[in-house]
A and B are shown apart, each in its own frame.
Chain A
Amino acid sequence: AQSVTQLDSQVPVFEEAPVELRCNYSSSVSVYLFWYVQYPNQGLQLLLKYLSGSTLVKGINGFEAEFNKSQTSFHLRKPSVHISDTAEYFCAVRLPSGGSYIPTFGRGTSLIVHP
């Protein structure tokens, strides 16, 4: 079975500063990796995904993530954050095939952007 660890429950940062949200996963087989964002009182929205190919993945809103197989990590980065990036961010993993294609989610990281 696969699992996801988001080491930071909260990340405070000032506006226009860079940010990295960490995600590590555990799986004995290859997985698909995702980052989702959840704004207050809303559902999850897909930011980006890694399925295969280039290990650097670019997503919406200026976010990117790098898949590191040796470190089993998929950290999310943004070079300059905005107030509007304040939200909950979830990392998720999923098997590429078989089963019910159900992703396993991390516990989330709350990004708090201060002016």
Chain B
Amino acid sequence: NAGVMQNPRHLVRRRGQEARLRCSPMKGHSHVYWYRQLPEEGLKFMVYLQKENIIDESGMPKERFSAEFPKEGPSILRIQQVVRGDSAAYFCASSPRISGTYNEQFFGPGTRLTVL
């Protein structure tokens, strides 16, 4: 059973360009979470999605950032008009259907975004 997959692993963009980060959850997982890790900081929650639904986007910046998890295909985190402050590692995690009890999140290897 393949783990959570993220691509690309490394992404370089110039200021003003768009960045698209993709996350394929583990097989059978219908919940996806995106986190951002700035240098020497812990992970900060950005957004939580189920298929075709955004459940919690309380950690997303109000502008330039968006996320989707379509019925088919991977989840996409999109950053428009990137700035140098967007340089970070972006991690995706997935979990199985929430049942009211503990559900472990499984993390992908991350995408390291560098904005020049």
Contacts and interface: CB of A to CB of B under 8 A. Distances in A.
Interface string A35-46: 010000111111
Contacts of B95: 101
A43 B45 CA distance: 15
Size bracket, chain A contacts: 20 to 34
A7 interface: no
Interface stretch (B12-20, B66-74, B75-83, B100-108): B100-108
Nearest to B98: A101
Interface residues of B, number: 26
Contacts of A49: 102, 104
B4 A102 contact: no
Interface string B81-101: 000000000010101001010
Interface of A: 4, 6, 9, 32, 36, 41-46, 49, 51, 90, 96-97, 99-108
What are the nearest 3 A-B pairs in CB distance?
A43-B107, A105-B42, A100-B56
14 contacts: A41-B110, A41-B112, A42-B109, A43-B107, A43-B110, A44-B107, A49-B102, A51-B102, A90-B43, A99-B56, A100-B48, A100-B55, A102-B33, A108-B42
